[in-house]
Amino acid sequence: MSATTTVRLSDEERELLAELADVYGGQSGAIRQGIQLLAQQNRRQQALREFLDDWAQESGTPDPEEVAAMRHRYFNQ
């Protein structure tokens, strides 16, 4: 089933949509792609939250110093 939805965009958002429309086959294609990407990101974040909750239940909360060391090791290279 197809539906039509009205979305109000700022001038900047309209410019971004115009840029993306060329890549994704039109404005509708760009919006659909954006929705899919947001849904995937949301599912990954939810899975990560569930993983961390399970981990905390099994092992306790992580030590802030260990977290800082891991953040530095894996994300500050």
What pLDDT does 77 receive? 61
What pLDDT does 24 receive? 97
Backbone angles phi, psi at 13, to 5 degrees: -65, -35
Q: What is the pLDDT of residues 19-70, one digit of tens each?
A: 999 999 999 999 999 999 999 999 999 999 999 889 889 988 888 898 889 8
Consecutive H or E run containing 71: helix 64-75
Task: Judge whether 34 and 26 are in contact, CB under 8 Å.
Answer: no
Q: What is the pLDDT of residues 4-13, one digit of tens each?
A: 999 999 999 9
What pLDDT does 61 receive? 81
Distances (CA, A) of 44 to 36, 38, 61, 77: 12, 10, 21, 24
Extract the tokens encoding 23: 């890549």
